């Protein structure tokens, strides 16, 4: 009796554990991606501990609470777009993708393994970030189930969008050693214009418009809707969290990212 060939999904699921182990064996990924949001939260919390709370409408919160939502969103983008983009570009450059292309492994299984790795590492990263915020810096986490429902929606859509964009941008560097210099600046600029480190409404209006085109701005505001008091919605453009619009923007980038992946992903560069 012939044993049926495993499906692409089952092959991809089997690769998730391999991808997670590889991720944690790379010190630069662990520090600059996995631990980065935790380190930044600690720095901001300690640096601004003696300053007055930040006000939003009729409510106020300390700096640890204020920065937590943006850093949760940043962790998603770092794990998806930055880490995945740099990782795949390196695998293309060192011949790993070419070798995989010579095996029966389907492209879909490779993608499932990579995206599964992003999901697992981001879940662990976010859990650590929330634990540090709550236990070390006294951040009060939501108790309302509806807020955690919003969190789950923004989190999962953000991971899907960031992951496909990471696969897509991996095609930009011509060589693996240039991947960090090509991809990291893009992600860093998005952090500064998307309300992660600076209050979004303090940015020039034209910069708010530019940021509104990209998904991180909406991941950050979605997470603010989860972790900040409702009164802070008055500090958003239009005085609202605009969760529906944010979901549409992220979904649009998800579709664009999928199209870019299908058009650009190759086991090896055609020019190389």
For the cut 70, the answer to whether the pLDDT of residue 107 exceeds it is: yes
Stated pTM of the model: 0.93
Band of residue 272 on the pLDDT scale cut at 50, 70, 90: very low
pLDDT (tens digit, 9 = 90+) per residue, 220-240? Answer: 999 999 999 999 999 999 999
How many Cα atoms occupy the beta-carbon half-sphere of 36 within 13 Å?
Answer: 24
Mean of all residue pLDDT scores within the chain? 91
pLDDT (tens digit, 9 = 90+) per residue, 57-84? Answer: 889 999 999 999 999 999 999 999 999 9
Segment 114-137 mean pLDDT: 96
pLDDT value of position 1: 45
pLDDT value of position 9: 77
For the cut 70, the answer to whether the pLDDT of residue 4 exceeds it is: no
pLDDT value of position 266: 83
CB crowding 74-88: b at 16 or more within 10 Å, else e: bbbbbbbbbbbbbbb
For the cut 80, the answer to whether the pLDDT of residue 2 exceeds it is: no
Token pair belonging to 57? 């409408």
Residues composing the chain: 272
Give the Cα-Cα-Cα angle 156, 258, 73 (nearest 5 degrees).
30
pLDDT (tens digit, 9 = 90+) per residue, 152-183? Answer: 999 999 999 999 999 999 999 888 888 989 99
pLDDT (tens digit, 9 = 90+) per residue, 9-28? Answer: 788 888 999 999 989 888 87
pLDDT value of position 178: 86
Burial (0-12, 13-18, 19+ Cβ within 10 Å), 263: exposed
For the cut 80, the answer to whether the pLDDT of residue 6 exceeds it is: no
Question: In 3D, which of 145, 95, 87, 139 has the Cα closest to residue 113?
Answer: 87
| % the chain with pLDDT above 90 | 72
Please answer whether residues 214 and 231 qualify as being in contact, where contact means their C-beta atoms are separated by less than 8 angstroms. no
Q: To which residue do tokens 């993608």 refer?
A: 111
Among the listed ranges 37-51, 90-104, 120-134, 213-227, which one has the minimum average pLDDT value? Answer: 90-104
pLDDT (tens digit, 9 = 90+) per residue, 253-266? Answer: 999 999 999 888 88
């Amino acid at each position: 009796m012939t044993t049926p060939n495993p499906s692409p999904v089952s092959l991809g699921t089997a690769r998730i554990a391999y991808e997670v182990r590889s991720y944690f064996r790379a010190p630069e990924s662990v520090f600059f991606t996995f631990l980065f949001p935790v380190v930044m939260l600690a720095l901001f919390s300690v640096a601004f501990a003696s300053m007055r709370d930040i006000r939003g409408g009729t409510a106020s919160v300390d700096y640890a609470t204020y920065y937590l939502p943006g850093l949760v969103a940043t962790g998603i983008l770092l794990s998806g777009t930055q880490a995945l983009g740099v990782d795949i570009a390196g695998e293309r450059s060192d011949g790993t993708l070419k070798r995989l292309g010579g095996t029966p492994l389907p492209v879909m299984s490779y993608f499932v393994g990579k995206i599964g790795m992003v999901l697992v590492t981001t879940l662990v990263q976010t859990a650590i970030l929330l634990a540090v915020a709550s236990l070390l810096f006294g951040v009060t986490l939501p108790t309302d189930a509806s807020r955690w429902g919003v969190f789950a929606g923004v989190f999962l859509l953000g991971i899907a969008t960031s992951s496909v964009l990471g696969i897509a941008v991996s095609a930009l560097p011509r060589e693996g050693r240039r991947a960090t210099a090509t991809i990291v600046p893009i992600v860093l600029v998005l952090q500064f214009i998307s309300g992660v480190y600076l209050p979004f409404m303090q940015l020039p209006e034209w910069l708010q418009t530019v940021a509104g085109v990209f998904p991180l701005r909406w991941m950050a505001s979605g997470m603010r809707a989860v972790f900040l008091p409702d009164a802070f919605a008055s500090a958003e453009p239009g005085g609202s969290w605009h969760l529906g619009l944010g979901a549409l923007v992220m979904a649009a980038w998800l579709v664009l990212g999928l199209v870019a992946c299908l058009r650009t992903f190759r086991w090896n560069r055609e020019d190389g």
